[in-house]
């Protein structure tokens, strides 16, 4: 009796346009969208990934593999990584005067962008709050000194100041909850109908409304990814050397320390420490030193445990 053979359908190429844990929406070149899962427990894919898939039914498929990425933005703690977006041209960090924003969270995200070799711009939302906006611009004047564009706007009224930065690019919006990312998406793409919520005055914090990352098309050449808000941004994936190079204000002094393996903590003859407050913002130097110390302690523990 002749054994029946099954013919495997040809592999298809597409782009992940929405991510829901281990489920993904993949858009094919003809704009058809398939709901896809991964093989086994593998789920290290993100919005923007170009993937090959195997169709399993009319509207479903399985992701087989991802094409090489030109960029990947992610955050990490000592135990796991959280992918944010792949193949993006730039990161748009959205902050506002209310609720209160975290300068450290902003710095952490900018460090991640530098580490991933992705450009970043900072949107100052709720510009209609004139006095608060003026104060915020003064507090963040150091961004311009480091070359990061700042774009003030009021997302409920207009996003026109932001549009030129988005033309012809795949951008990802990131930031704390309640800063206005979803409002920006709804203004850029009116039929997106992204859920929006107000921030909690009592807690001075935003409420999570976006729970998954999704790509939205602005026009024929411009797209933007809306990502869930976050309250922390780990950088355990960066080495001490990568951390130091990810702070633009450090770069003029790197390589000028007395010791080649200087960690810029307490070493004598450190060019970074010598630059001091006059050249480097104290909060940024302090952040680097805390990260380098924490990461060093963690690596020492891992080594002692034979991992």
Superfamily (CATH) of domain 72-226? P-loop containing nucleotide triphosphate hydrolases (3.40.50.300)
pTM check: above 0.85: yes
- The pLDDT tens digits for 194-233 are 544 433 333 333 343 556 899 999 999 999 999 998 888 9
Summarised one tens digit per residue, pLDDT across range 275-287 is 987 899 999 999 9
- In this prediction, residue 204 carries a pLDDT of 36
**Confidence band, pLDDT 50/70/90 cuts, at residue 307:** low
144: its two tokens:
């311009």
In tens, the pLDDT along 106-134 reads 999 999 999 999 999 999 999 998 899 99
Q: Angle at CA 56, nearest 5°, toward 52 and 58? A: 105
User: How much is the average pLDDT of 146-163?
Assistant: 95
Return the domain boundaries, the chain: 12-66, 72-226, 240-304
Which contacts qualify for 214-221: CB closer than 8 Å, 24 or more apart?
Answer: 214/17, 214/18, 214/19, 214/47, 215/15, 215/16, 215/17, 215/18, 215/27, 215/47, 215/48, 215/170, 216/185, 216/188, 216/189, 216/192, 217/189, 218/166, 218/188, 218/189, 221/167, 221/168
In the predicted model, what is the mean pLDDT of residues 165-188? Answer: 93
pLDDT bucket at 40, cuts 50 / 70 / 90: confident
What is the predicted pLDDT for the residue at 298? 81
The number of helices, as runs of H, and strands, as runs of E, in the chain is: 8, 13
CATH superfamily for domain 12-66 = Nucleic acid-binding proteins (2.40.50.140)
At 250 the three-state DSSP class reads helix
- In three-state secondary structure terms, 112 is helix
Cβ neighbours around 262 below 10 Å, total: 20
As assigned by CATH, the class of the 240-304 domain is mainly alpha
Length of the chain equals: 307
Convert 89-103 to b/e letters by CB count within 10 Å (16 or more is b). bbbbbbbbbbbebbb
The residues, any chain, with a CB within 8 Å of residue 4's CB and separated by 6 or more, are: none
């Amino acid at each position: 009796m002749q054994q029946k053979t099954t013919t495997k359908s040809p592999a298809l190429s597409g782009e992940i346009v929405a991510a829901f844990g281990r489920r993904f929406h993949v858009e094919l070149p003809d704009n058809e969208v398939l709901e896809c899962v991964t093989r086994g427990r593998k789920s290290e894919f993100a919005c923007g990934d170009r993937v090959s898939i195997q169709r399993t039914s009319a509207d479903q498929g399985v992701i087989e593999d991802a094409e090489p990425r030109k960029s990947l933005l992610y955050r990490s703690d000592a135990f796991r990584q959280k992918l944010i977006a792949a193949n993006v041209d730039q990161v748009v960090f959205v902050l506002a005067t209310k609720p209160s924003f975290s300068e450290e969270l902003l710095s952490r995200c900018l460090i991640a962008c530098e580490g991933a070799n992705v450009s970043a711009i900072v949107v100052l939302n709720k510009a209609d709050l004139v006095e608060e906006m003026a104060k915020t611009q003064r507090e963040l004047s150091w961004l311009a000194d480091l070359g990061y564009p700042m774009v003030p706007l009021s997302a409920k009224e207009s996003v026109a100041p932001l549009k030129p930065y988005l033309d012809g690019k795949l951008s990802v919006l990131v930031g704390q909850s309640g800063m206005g990312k979803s409002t920006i998406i709804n203004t850029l793409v009116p039929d997106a109908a992204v859920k929006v919520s107000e921030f909690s005055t009592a807690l001075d914090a935003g409420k999570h409304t976006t729970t998954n990352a999704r790509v939205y098309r602005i026009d024929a050449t411009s797209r933007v990814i809306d990502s869930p808000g976050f309250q922390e941004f780990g950088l355990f994936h960066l080495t001490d050397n990568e951390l130091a190079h990810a702070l633009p204000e450090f770069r003029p002094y790197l390589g000028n320390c007395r010791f080649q393996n200087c960690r810029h903590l307490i070493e004598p003859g450190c060019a970074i420490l010598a630059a001091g407050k006059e050249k480097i913002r104290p909060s940024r130097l302090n952040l680097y030193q805390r990260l380098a110390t924490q990461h060093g302690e963690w690596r020492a523990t891992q080594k002692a445990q034979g991992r």
